[in-house]
Amino acid sequence: MTQFIDIAALDDIPRQGARVVKTPAGCIAIFRTGDDQIFALDDRCPHKGGPLSEGIVHGAQVTCPLHAWVFDLNTGLAQGADEGEVRTYAVRLEAGRVLLDAGFLARRSAA
Amino acid sequence: MKQKLVVIGAGMASGRMLEHLFEAGGNFDVTLFNAEPRGNYNRLMLSPVLSGEKTYEQIVTHDADWYEAHSVDCRFGEPVVKIDRENRIVYSNAGGAPYDALVIATGSAPFIIPVPGKDLPGVCTYRDLEDTNAMIAASAPGTKAVVIGGGLLGLEAAAGMAARGAEVTVIHLMGHLMERQLDPAAGYLLQKDLEQRGIKVHCKGATKAILGEGRVEAVLLEDGTVYPADLVCMAVGIRPEVRLATDAHLEVGRGITVDDQMRTSDPSIFALGECVEHNGQLFGLVAPLYDQAKVLAATLLEQEAAFQPVQTATKLKVTGVDLFSAGDFADALGREDIVFRDPGRGIYKRLVLEGNQLMGAVMYGDTADGSWFFDLIKQRKDVSDLRDTLIFGPAFSGGASANPLAAVAALPPEAEICGCNGVCKGKIVTAIEAGATTLDAVRSTTKASASCGTCTGLVEQVMALTLGDGFSANANPPMCKCTDHTHEDVRRLIKSLGLKSIPAVMQELGWRTVGGCASCRPALNYYLIADWPTEYRDDRQSRFVNERNHGNIQKDGTYSVVPRMWGGVTTPAELRAIADAADRYAVPMVKVTGGQRIDLLGVKKEDLPAIWADLNAAGMVSGHAYAKGLRTVKTCVGSEFCRFGTQDSTGLGIKLEKLLWGSWTPAKVKLGVSGCPRNCAEATCKDIGVVCVDSGYEISVAGAAGMDVRETEFLCKVTTEAEVMEVIAAFTQLYRENARYLHRIYKWVAKVSLDWCRAQVEDPVTRRALYDRFMLSQSVYQTDPWAELAAKPADWAPVADLTLRAAE
Ligand SMILES: Cc1cc2nc3c(=O)[nH]c(=O)nc-3n(C[C@H](O)[C@H](O)[C@H](O)COP(=O)(O)OP(=O)(O)OC[C@H]3O[C@@H](n4cnc5c(N)ncnc54)[C@H](O)[C@@H]3O)c2cc1C
Ligand code: SF4
Ligand code: FES
């Protein structure tokens, strides 16, 4: 089930930066690229749990602040020699507002 | 009986619609209202009128004869004030006109930013002939004009006035010009072109007020800058002119809502142009409006037609500026960039591919292939076969590829290559041509790279260019995968080319990626801070987490907080404040550091602003324990208390820390000051150490006590505290200006040699100049980041909390 909910204004998120959304299943990082694309990924690096929201955003990638693994924001896949994957979530930009698919919450409470 | 058609607005869209209608033999009695006291003209061409390349007469699209030939009842200079839908009559102040069908084509109105002074005489917008004439009248040589807004319209206004001799400044809110159509690299090239025509560009500038008594005199920005102005043109955007439709209770969103046939919520009222909203979309360029005109003419003729928005491409109508942007070039799922830069010719091209399709293109400097790319985008052609050479356009015949030597090839002969000895490129080329074909020969004939050696890579590139295949450079590893240049080359070129922004560096040095990577961005940000302290502005998003958040991130994502403790000296009041903060924020560990201060470990990110504010309130500032910058000055008690002390080492340490704190450096810098050779402050394993003796102060540098352990080496001996301060500030500045990012002092000194460093700081003139540059930088950067950031606690908390929602 897709259920988009309004979580923030685009301008609450710095360009080439991120902010986090707290959820019962842990934090989700909402990234904004240099050209205003929005992505949502779990804020936990599969390596040793680094907060990806604090990494440097370059193009549509983020470099983990702890040990510099690089992830593609589109797919959540680790780049280069590293192997790992971060869960991604659907996000939408509408009239300057960021909408996050919170369907996962419903699934969770249904479970 | 003929149908009565009333049209409100004689603009680009309605003019085209009437043409289609009459060409198809439509049988209508047309009444055409226009607020402007004239008929249809080509609004796009106001820019050539402004610049003096065309006259108004040349851009009229429909003249009196045309209206007469089609029996159009022209009501020009008569704005419509009301639509009476019940009786189907529109009213101007001069009377009414009944309709069977009504077309609203009122275009849009310029947006006026609500700042004080916006209504002063001398403030105009850029929409119609009146605005254009006002700007023409005000742009005699020597007058000053300010344009607010660096988008398409603002820049055409600026270029037009500049062409007439006015001194023009453009103030733009965003980080680069035309940010909706261009990416930062193309925006940088555009800015450079405009600056070459004498137009001043101020990006990231927010207008606070327009100043003047009875007339505009100046524009004041939020950052305090004031630009004198005889005329101010506001070109910050447009919004659909929907007032009539709203008053008439038609359905209006951001624009007047229309369906695919251009019909509004009232079946006998139609709308087209910039005043409409179709499927949630607004329009600001003419191409889609012309399609609307075709559709609406068909609808009125009771033919089938449906409007479908097309992709649009942008060009800027400023003679000599060559830019093109089309399609969608945002990063998205599965997209890839192809980038080509030719720094020598000022060319930047970027294509965005998704799978086998071209999605978008941005080009600057050479847009000859623009329409070919635009076609590929619109037709969604499969480009997989062309992919490798796509960026070179349809005429590609093989051979061309990005040249790693391009940046150096593009340097003018007078560009300085060797900073130590002031040797320019021309001189090196001359020497090589005269027979100096080895690095040593170039060194001995020109002295280039003969001192600190940092510019060796560049000298080798000049040799490779001059000697061709006959020379192979001693390749050093490049800075990162985005470029072929080494750190040293980049630093040197930033200075000799005067590059003052990250996009400028990436363009002029031919970066292969669009926006760099996590390795080059922090380095570039540092180099620009160090080289242009007053002009460049720190880019927070190009910093590693610790410097961005002003705390050391711990493995669990919490941070450490370390207030500065000058020279390791504290007071009971400070200790109490630290203890209180530790209690209040439940700090899991309080630890004394090796640098003689107190570390509060395990603070949650959202608590940072509050704990900083508390420590600030007790008079403490950030200790920069996380920074590539000055960390600590460790001291011993010295002559104040110790029976062996020769000088006041504690006092000197405090003075040094107060001098140096807040400065950014290539890597962390730690100092120690000991009061006698017993060296209780362990000064001789620091980056910079001072050991006091009876006759003065021995300064030594390049120690280390980390992965490498090294004793400092003697730099010089001085006799007064004032000299210690000057030497150390000068040495730090030398390091700031020359070392590569992340190299500690000992690594850098090993490269450039201690003798060279000593020669710089021992020469009184060089030393003073270094000191002055250090102090200039400190005048900008010696501020407490905590105080600044603590003011915005909301930025540190999650943007949303869905934990409660789930509980519902
Ligand atoms: C200087 C300049 C340069 C431009 N350059 C380009 C370009 O290079 N490429 C591009 O694609 N687009 C360009 N544009 C945009 C383009 O001109 C517009 O998209 C286009 O003119 C919109 O057409 P329109 O018919 O909707 O509105 P308009 O052409 O603005 O016509 C609307 C008319 O309605 C009249 N009106 C408004 N309210 C009333 C009322 N109540 N009663 C009677 N009349 C009324 C107005 O006076 C106006 O004459 C440029 C615009 C400007 C100002
Ligand atoms: S270094 Fe010398 S002056 Fe300083 S505390 Fe030790 S013995 Fe005393
Ligand atoms: S935790 Fe992300 S790279 Fe190690």
Q: Which residue has the higher pLDDT, B460 or A12?
A: A12
Assess whether pLDDT exceeds 50 at residue B807.
no
Question: A50 C-alpha to center of ligand 3: Å?
Answer: 5
Assess whether pLDDT exceeds 90 at residue B475.
no
Whether residue A65 lies inside any domain: the answer is: yes
Distance CA B674, CA B684 (A): 9
Beta carbons of A14 and B540 less than 8 Å apart:
yes
Pocket test for ligand 1, best of B7, B32, B44 (most atoms within 8 A of CB): B44
Tell me the two tokens of residue B150.
């660096």
Whether residue A79 lies inside any domain: the answer is: yes
Instruction: Identify the DSSP state of B237.
Output: -
Beta carbons of A21 and B802 less than 8 Å apart:
yes
Q: What is the pLDDT of residue B230?
A: 95
Q: Which residues pair with B327 in a beta bridge?
A: B360
Q: Which of B540, B553, B799 sits opposite A19 (nearest CB)?
A: B799
Element (H, E) at B801: strand B800-801
Q: Do domains B409-538 and B630-785 have the same CATH topology?
A: no
Whether residue A67 lies inside any domain: the answer is: yes
How many CA atoms are closer than 13 Å to the CA of B726, on its beta-carbon side? 18
Where in chain B are the domains? 3-108+240-300, 112-236, 322-392, 409-538, 545-626, 630-785
Whether residue A29 lies inside any domain: the answer is: yes
Residues of chain B contacting A60 with CB distance shorter than 8 Å:
331-332, 335
Q: Which residues pair with B353 in a beta bridge?
A: B336, B358
Q: Which residue has the higher pLDDT, B447 or A11?
A: A11
Beta carbons of A102 and B513 less than 8 Å apart:
no
Q: Which distant-in-sequence residues (6+ apart) come within 8 Å of A39 by Cβ?
A: A30, A31, A33, A60, A73, A74, A88, A91
Stretch B610-632: mean pLDDT: 94
Q: What is the pLDDT of residue B108?
A: 94
Which of the four pLDDT bands, split at 50, 70 and 90, describes residue B647?
very high
- Stretch 51-70 of chain A: residues touching chain B, C-beta under 8 Å: 51, 54-61, 63, 65-66, 68, 70
Q: Which distant-in-sequence residues (6+ apart) come within 8 Å of B249 by Cβ?
A: B85
pLDDT digits (tens, 9 = 90+) for B301-345: 999 999 998 777 887 878 778 888 888 776 666 678 888 888 777
Q: What is the pLDDT of residue A108?
A: 57
Q: What is the pLDDT of residue B458?
A: 82
Q: Is B334 on the interface with A (CB under 8 A)?
A: yes
How many CA atoms are closer than 13 Å to the CA of B496, on its beta-carbon side? 26
Beta carbons of A54 and B548 less than 8 Å apart:
yes
pLDDT digits (tens, 9 = 90+) for B335-389: 788 888 887 778 888 888 888 888 888 888 888 788 788 888 888 888 887 777 7
State whether ipTM is beyond 0.90. no
Which of the four pLDDT bands, split at 50, 70 and 90, describes residue A110?
very low
Instruction: Identify the DSSP state of A19.
Output: E
Q: Indicate which atom in ligand 1 lies nearest the CA of residue B80.
A: 42
Whether residue A31 lies inside any domain: the answer is: yes
Which of B105, B44, B24, B543 minimizes the C-alpha distance to B316? B44
Q: What is the pLDDT of residue B399?
A: 46
- Stretch 169-208 of chain B: residues touching chain A, C-beta under 8 Å: 175, 183-184
Stretch A101-107: mean pLDDT: 75
Domain that holds residue A61: 14-89
User: What superfamily in CATH does domain B3-108+240-300 come from?
Assistant: FAD/NAD(P)-binding domain (3.50.50.60)
Any idea what the CATH number is for the domain that residue A54 is in?
2.102.10.10
Beta carbons of A57 and B184 less than 8 Å apart:
no
Instruction: Of B144-153, B444-453, B470-479, B623-632, give the lowest mean pLDDT range.
Output: B470-479
- Closest Cα in chain A to B795: A12
Question: Is B782 near ligand 2, meaning CB less than 6 Å away?
Answer: no
Question: B681 C-alpha to center of ligand 2: Å?
Answer: 8
Q: What is the pLDDT of residue B556?
A: 86
Q: What is the pLDDT of residue B376?
A: 85
Query: What fold is seen in the domain B409-538?
Result: Arc Repressor Mutant, subunit A (1.10.10)
Query: What fold is seen in the domain B112-236?
Result: FAD/NAD(P)-binding domain (3.50.50)
pLDDT digits (tens, 9 = 90+) for B37-89: 999 999 988 999 999 988 999 999 999 999 999 999 999 999 999 999 999 99
Q: What is the pLDDT of residue B546?
A: 93
Stretch B128-145: mean pLDDT: 93
Whether residue A4 lies inside any domain: the answer is: no
User: Which one of the ligands is nearest to B637 CA?
Assistant: 2
Q: Which distant-in-sequence residues (6+ apart) come within 8 Å of B612 by Cβ?
A: B550, B561, B622, B786, B787, B789, B790
Residues of chain B contacting A23 with CB distance shorter than 8 Å:
802-803, 806
Distance CA B175, CA B188 (A): 10
How does DSSP assign B270-324, residue by residue? EE-STTEEETTB---SHHHHHHHHHHHHHHHTT------PPP-EE----TT--EE
Question: B98 C-alpha to center of ligand 1: Å?
Answer: 25
Computed over every residue of chain B, the mean pLDDT equals 90
Beta carbons of A49 and B556 less than 8 Å apart:
yes
B545-626 is classed in which CATH architecture?
Alpha-Beta Complex (3.90)
Which of the four pLDDT bands, split at 50, 70 and 90, describes residue A80?
confident
Task: Count structural domains, chain A.
Answer: 1
Backbone angles phi, psi at A58, to 5 degrees: -135, 130
Beta carbons of A24 and B516 less than 8 Å apart:
no
CATH of B322-392, one of 3.30.390.30, 3.40.50.10860, 3.50.50.60, 3.30.450.60: 3.30.390.30
Question: B255 C-alpha to center of ligand 2: Å?
Answer: 78
Stretch B677-697: mean pLDDT: 96
Intra-chain end-to-end CA distance of chain A, in Å: 13
Query: What fold is seen in the domain B630-785?
Result: Sulfite Reductase Hemoprotein; domain 1 (3.30.413)
Element (H, E) at B361: strand B357-364
Instruction: Of B223-232, B481-490, B671-680, B683-692, give the lowest mean pLDDT range.
Output: B481-490
Q: What is the pLDDT of residue B316?
A: 80
Pocket test for ligand 1, best of B106, B125, B250 (most atoms within 8 A of CB): B106
Count A/B contacts: CB-CB distance under 8 Å: 115
How does DSSP assign B662-719, residue by residue? T-B-SS-EEEEEESSTT-TT-GGGSSEEEEEETTEEEEEE--EESSSEE--EEEEEES
